[in-house]
Structure 1
């Protein structure tokens, strides 16, 4: 086979092919490199994404764990705050031990998985749960307190006694996340007289004329708001109710659409708005409300209160909580009325905390009157011998030493040696020496005095005991030492029979309905026997002007006196548990069967009706053991009102002294509303029932010197009702024709079972001569400047056929009670009003306006001086609450 020779063209082709092959080989290398680079980049991205996912998972787990720690700390903080609040509710002044006990009992929450309360740098469970406070300079076991303005919360703007605490909670999770929270909390004591009106129970406004008192309004119950047709109620400060606000009914169920369509203006912060024009106009549904029976909450009320009133009105559902006094806390176990009650026997050992909270233990001076525990006999008397047998320990007067607080020094003889008898208030124009019976006047007689102010005439009889601090009796109308030149008989009496008890007739207490009995038909219940307290002479004794020991009394921020008269009281066989577990004296009248709605005359029915359970214990407004009490309703005489009297020359003659009540004849003669056959019998004899009171006289000027650079104030506290006669604490401006208050008045208060205001024209005799005739019980414009804490009646549903406001407690405009015809006269009052309990002694239901009183022009106003703590009356009660003022998350290096 022969070979063909290679031509030039073949050579060229071979070279080209080789170049192509070489070029293809280079391209393949680049592709491989590119692929490898791409794979490397993809691998890097996968690794990065993987790391990112893993990191996110780790971070997400950390965030979740931190959130668990935060919420655990928050839960612990709320638990610790609640524990402190509960402690404060039970114990108003906890010490260091009680506070620290909260860290373990109840201690931190134990039901949050994976969370422990451990402080930084510690491994001890619970160490992250802490409360700290600044110790008091005087006692390191107690937190320091100081007065200051409340900066936030429902009661912001008021001045309170504040005790700050710092609460710290550190929460740590099992993986190690940690959160520390810190909160500043205050327990606050608010002086009760910084409110215009405060009520422990339901509070009702429904005045007929315009009413504008001023000051804040708070009730621990429901608030009933209405105003008479064509008039305006003005509430210029914040209004709060721990219950509800009702505007479509009075508390007795009466529809406000009839007779009560007036304006109810409440502050918005920058002005006022009429509540009755809002939608809704109340916080509950419906218009069939009455005390003890109200509709369910209207959920639209909150937005209305916010948008219209800027939350200047508030109810339970918008955050309002009750404010309580210390004695009513569970740790002490008392009721608000226990503040004015006498203590039980051995209370100093069985419940010393309760004893310490009673005014009985706190005041400068005490006046106590009592019976012996059992009936005794009197061997000597003014009739059978020349001297009477000494009966010791029926009256005791003692003061608390300022050099040794808690030590009481007896001054009974010192006070009584200043005198204890009062003037004749009904001098006779001719001789009516005993045994003749002095006549009652045929028309209103002049005021009984002791002071005479412009435009007022008195009977012009002088006191036989001009320096007396208390007066236990007075010269009778017709004393044996009467003379034509001395009708008053103010010279020293020669016989005990020349003196009669101090007694007035209270028409509100006397009647079951606002219907007059016959002019001479006076019930036993209406005769109120009182001790007269001369306020001017009391101030003189405290100042050392009279007597010897007044300057030794305890008077830290002013002076005070406690009064209790239990003569004639009957033991309650089944007392409230807050008092005793066996039969005991409770300070109550002991007769509650006075509503009886089915009876036109209010006659007894023997069953417990709404409005009658006034002496029971109440927890959140409810008596857990309601009972009808009538133990005090039997008058202290024998034979159903038949007495044997001495008739000259004929020996003993039976005489009927008590008759049936013509409106309730079936009730007989042995109940409080039986009729005394002669009005003078009630005036000159001891009471047949527990009807005791205190009357304040001569109180227009109170001069006690200076306490802590301000004028010393005066607090008068009485377990019994108090009647304030004539002007009080307004020197030189008693019967002013226009509103003008003296600059020399002092911080004063009257705290009692009930408070009745008697004008400058008052005379006890007129109340007996004209018990149901307002035309002969005319008043005089009078001024009163004092804070008042007292009781009121128990509201009930309006019985058929009664007045539209019968069944109410009278409303705030009638909380201060009246017994006179005030028509055309003005009653000026400046102060603060606190309704803390139901009256236990003056239990007569509210009634107006046929027999008891006709209303005054009310010149009422809140005393803004009380917003300054140093100007408050001495021993002003304190209300307790808790306020949170700060919240912080602490950032630590360990976090």
Structure 2
């Protein structure tokens, strides 16, 4: 029997099945692989997302801590290394509620951490000091706002960690991120700036003005020059920064001149800034804000017509950005504004400023407040005041009634009329040479300090109170209203001031002997030159009233010391060791604000001023050359040259008196006050010889002429009651043949005739400029003030101003009128005098004692030679110089767990 085989079809079907199964298996494997890869990719992506979340959380924690650190540094001047590692208890982490909705672990060992490290001072290797120099040659400092300056720098590291967990099994284990960033706190000495304004800065000169040294303002910067040619240009030669904007405009479009108003619309003179030089060049390219080709100003408005008060808009943002790009490319960091991120600089503690609403910075010069005054006491603010920092405190009552002052700890002290008392900052009473009385209620006198005692014949008092001594033609009685027409019912009446004279030459001698133990001192002679003597000639060569005088060595054997007094035992002892720190604070009780509505005479202010006299030559200083700071809550006047010899180099180069010191012994010094006025040096001429030698004042300030016009050009007899006009251009008396004293600062009584010398040889009329001498009454007379003399100052100046637009008719005068003037510096046929200032000019607050606005009717402008002292340029600053704070984040880095643990351990945490 024959059996048939399987059909070919059946065999083909079987092989196809195998093929299908194999293909399917391959597909399954591919799909499985794809699915597995997808799941792995998902897990990796998920973990990367966890890592980013952990990093963002750690960064948020770090920034949260950085903000707290900055706030604490701004409110308390503690830069001790362990301030934040010693569990100060003020740095906190974000609360757990902050992380709601996130995967951040908020408890246990993986909870977020925020740790603040050691505060580490950073200094430069090229200076032997505690300062850091922001080197312009370092590329990292190209856009550094403090480039080219010295500052105290403190770096502080912050580390943070955050852990994120998946919670759904996809991300695997928790992800932890560690990072660190560094906050660089810069405590910049205020006087490291040639110009520093805490408010809007206006620079609007009529003649060429060159500003040498760094300039900063916390407000807006207004720049314009009063002209249309290069002969009236304004030139900045170093870095300029503003925390707001720069505007080629006048803040006050119209302001009072002598004869009315000035329209500034068409002024197009150049306002130039210098680009940072590119090595090896040492001078950068100079470019003006004014584009003379297209006739537009390239300021922050960028030719849009916008102003600082224009509301924020896309146009304003675009203009700001266009200016930022152009300024960066053109000036290479030498002109920066808020568009470049320039911060506001302010002192440590709550001492800010906002025009019209916050004048807290003025507290720096105000008397101390007792701790018991809980409503007003702030420990940090008190620690920053000159009234608590200065080693010597002089409390003066210039008025005619007993008034209450405040001790260095803020407690009250009664001072009789016309008296003063002196204390160390710890409260120990001191006795200055020539001080007539001391002790409680000034009831004690002693031959050691009694200027009439034969035991100390010839001792000259350092401080003399002179009631009703001089007029300040800018300061007016309170019944006059600015912005209202002058009339018989709104009469412009200048104030008669009490003056507190401080003899800087005698102070120098007293400090040299008491503090330094010196037996001689080099200084000028300050006694008035005697008339008609044969011995005068040798003394005249060293006399401060001689413009060509030189210093001489004075023996201190008979000079008086500064003593201490202990009322409880009634004993007088030596000057306490460690008292002198270079700072003297003069509290004038007259400068206190009135108590409105009070019927008690002692509650009302009688205007006064502190005046520094005989400051020519070097000022008082410890033997280490640390210098001197004089601070007061009152308006301050400097009579004549100060910390300078009066020989002025008017060049603008390296030897200029606007920057170069007189000699290697010149020390840094500062003046801090409510308002600052320069009175030019009184200079005499000598004629004749032997017993026919006679002297007479030729130029400079004289108190007896202080209520007179600076010049007689376009004077009107109705100046006080009629508005300014072309025939009424100046304020003050004129053509009345006023009698003045041989001594320019003789203690006057304006209710009686001034005393004049009775032994003076009659003077011929050609000896005294604009004056005559009566041979019968022996009286000196003049119709106007003397022409001023050129005057030189080497000092930092921190003072208040009266802001523009505060009230109708107010104008600050701008930086070009930063010091106040009261004399004829250029008018009525006289050659223009030079006022040379090398130092630093700081407008920190609004004036509260001398609040009157600028007026051109009381002076003729000098030639301004103002610059930045080489002492400050090289990091030598006066005692007790305030610091202003700024901050910069200089590092942000991811770190690993090992580094994190190491840093934590090194901080003792």
What TM-score bracket applies, with the shorter chain setting the length?
Answer: 0.5 to 0.7
Check 1:329–1:531 CA distance in 2 against 1; reply closer, same or farther (3 A cut). Answer: closer
Aligned mate of 1:168, from 154, 159, 169: 159
- 2:470 aligns to what? 504
Check 1:125–1:280 CA distance in 2 against 1; reply closer, same or farther (3 A cut). Answer: farther
- Is the 1:343–1:360 contact (alpha carbons within 8 Å) kept by the matching residues of 2? yes
Residues 345-744 of structure 1: pairs in structure 2 closer than 5 A: 345=370, 350-370=377-397, 395-400=419-424, 406-411=426-431, 415-416=435-436, 467-473=460-466, 501=467, 503-510=469-476, 525-544=494-513, 545=556, 546-549=559-562, 552=575, 559-567=582-590, 571-573=594-596, 690-702=606-618, 704=620, 711-731=625-645, 733-734=646-647, 739-740=656-657, 741-743=661-663, 744=665
- 1:811 aligns to what? 814
Structure 1 position 857 matched with structure 2 position 863: yes
- 1:492 aligns to what? none
Distance 1:286 1:557 in 2: 56
- 1:749 aligns to what? 670
- Structure 1, 50-59 or 551-560: larger mean CA deviation: 551-560
Check 1:472–1:888 CA distance in 2 against 1; reply closer, same or farther (3 A cut). Answer: same
- 1:844 aligns to what? 852
Structure 1 position 63 matched with structure 2 position 48: yes
- 2:361 aligns to what? 336
Distance 1:272 1:554 in 2: 53
- 1:46 aligns to what? 31
- Structure 1, 333-342 or 747-756: larger mean CA deviation: 333-342
> TM (normalized to structure 2)?
0.64
Check 1:79–1:154 CA distance in 2 against 1; reply closer, same or farther (3 A cut). Answer: farther
Check 1:559–1:314 CA distance in 2 against 1; reply closer, same or farther (3 A cut). Answer: same
SS at match of 2:897: coil
Distance 1:816 1:693 in 2: 15
Check 1:789–1:329 CA distance in 2 against 1; reply closer, same or farther (3 A cut). Answer: closer
Distance 1:177 1:327 in 2: 41
Structure 1 position 155 matched with structure 2 position 132: no
Distance 1:517 1:65 in 2: 76
- Is the 1:80–1:102 contact (alpha carbons within 8 Å) kept by the matching residues of 2? no
Distance 1:60 1:74 in 2: 21
Distance 2:591 2:323 in 1: 54
- Is the 2:351–2:361 contact (alpha carbons within 8 Å) kept by the matching residues of 1? no
SS at match of 2:59: helix
Distance 1:818 1:894 in 2: 62
- 2:694 aligns to what? none
Aligned mate of 1:78, from 44, 47, 63: 63
Aligned mate of 1:282, from 299, 302, 323: 299
Check 1:570–1:36 CA distance in 2 against 1; reply closer, same or farther (3 A cut). Answer: closer
Q: Tell me how far 1:723 sits from its aligned partner.
A: 0.9
Structure 1 position 267 matched with structure 2 position 268: no
SS at match of 1:237: coil
Distance 2:96 2:419 in 1: 55
- 2:407 aligns to what? none
Q: Which has the larger radius of gyration?
A: 1
Check 1:548–1:375 CA distance in 2 against 1; reply closer, same or farther (3 A cut). Answer: closer
Q: Tell me how far 1:534 sits from its aligned partner.
A: 1.1
Aligned mate of 2:838, from 811, 830, 837: 830
Check 1:365–1:418 CA distance in 2 against 1; reply closer, same or farther (3 A cut). Answer: farther
- 2:89 aligns to what? 101
Distance 2:352 2:590 in 1: 31
Residues 4-153 of structure 1: pairs in structure 2 closer than 5 A: 34-93=19-78, 95-96=83-84, 100-104=88-92, 110-111=98-99, 113-116=101-104, 123=109, 125-126=111-112, 128-134=113-119, 146-150=130-134, 153=144
- Is the 2:794–2:838 contact (alpha carbons within 8 Å) kept by the matching residues of 1? yes
- 1:303 aligns to what? 322
- Is the 1:252–1:796 contact (alpha carbons within 8 Å) kept by the matching residues of 2? no
Distance 2:816 2:854 in 1: 12
- Is the 1:250–1:290 contact (alpha carbons within 8 Å) kept by the matching residues of 2? no
Superimposed CA distance per residue, residues 186-243 of structure 1 (whole angstroms, 9 cap, x where no aligned partner): 2221111111211112110100111112222222222111112122111223322223
- 1:322 aligns to what? 344
- Is the 2:61–2:93 contact (alpha carbons within 8 Å) kept by the matching residues of 1? no
**Corresponding residue pairs, total:** 664
Q: Tell me how far 1:123 sits from its aligned partner.
A: 1.5
Distance 2:793 2:306 in 1: 35
Q: Tell me how far 1:113 sits from its aligned partner.
A: 2.8
> TM (normalized to structure 1)?
0.65
Distance 1:292 1:118 in 2: 46
Superimposed CA distance per residue, residues 614-672 of structure 1 (whole angstroms, 9 cap, x where no aligned partner): xxxxxxxxxxxxxxxxx95xxxxxxxxxxxxxxxxxxxxxxxxxxxxxxxxxxxxxxxx
Distance 1:822 1:751 in 2: 24
Q: Tell me how far 1:727 sits from its aligned partner.
A: 0.9
SS at match of 2:194: strand
- 1:883 aligns to what? 888
Aligned mate of 1:866, from 862, 866, 872: 872
Q: Tell me how far 1:472 sits from its aligned partner.
A: 2.5
Q: Which runs of 5+ in 2 are unaligned?
A: 123-128, 135-139, 167-173, 256-261, 278-284, 404-413, 437-446, 514-555, 564-573, 682-699, 710-731, 735-782, 827-831, 901-909
Superimposed CA distance per residue, residues 61-84 of structure 1 (whole angstroms, 9 cap, x where no aligned partner): 112222211222222222222222
- Is the 1:76–1:109 contact (alpha carbons within 8 Å) kept by the matching residues of 2? no
Check 1:165–1:41 CA distance in 2 against 1; reply closer, same or farther (3 A cut). Answer: same
Q: Tell me how far 1:536 sits from its aligned partner.
A: 1.7
Distance 1:55 1:293 in 2: 57
Check 1:190–1:797 CA distance in 2 against 1; reply closer, same or farther (3 A cut). Answer: closer
Distance 2:150 2:618 in 1: 26
Distance 1:557 1:35 in 2: 105
- Is the 2:203–2:223 contact (alpha carbons within 8 Å) kept by the matching residues of 1? yes
Check 1:407–1:769 CA distance in 2 against 1; reply closer, same or farther (3 A cut). Answer: closer
Q: Tell me how far 1:836 sits from its aligned partner.
A: 0.9
- 1:494 aligns to what? none
Distance 2:891 2:241 in 1: 24
- Is the 2:297–2:303 contact (alpha carbons within 8 Å) kept by the matching residues of 1? no
Check 1:737–1:62 CA distance in 2 against 1; reply closer, same or farther (3 A cut). Answer: closer
- Is the 1:717–1:751 contact (alpha carbons within 8 Å) kept by the matching residues of 2? yes
- Is the 2:190–2:881 contact (alpha carbons within 8 Å) kept by the matching residues of 1? yes
Check 1:303–1:836 CA distance in 2 against 1; reply closer, same or farther (3 A cut). Answer: same
Distance 1:109 1:183 in 2: 25
SS at match of 1:60: helix
The Cα RMSD (Å) is 4.4
Q: Tell me how far 1:40 sits from its aligned partner.
A: 3.4
Q: Tell me how far 1:105 sits from its aligned partner.
A: 6.7
Q: Tell me how far 1:726 sits from its aligned partner.
A: 1.0
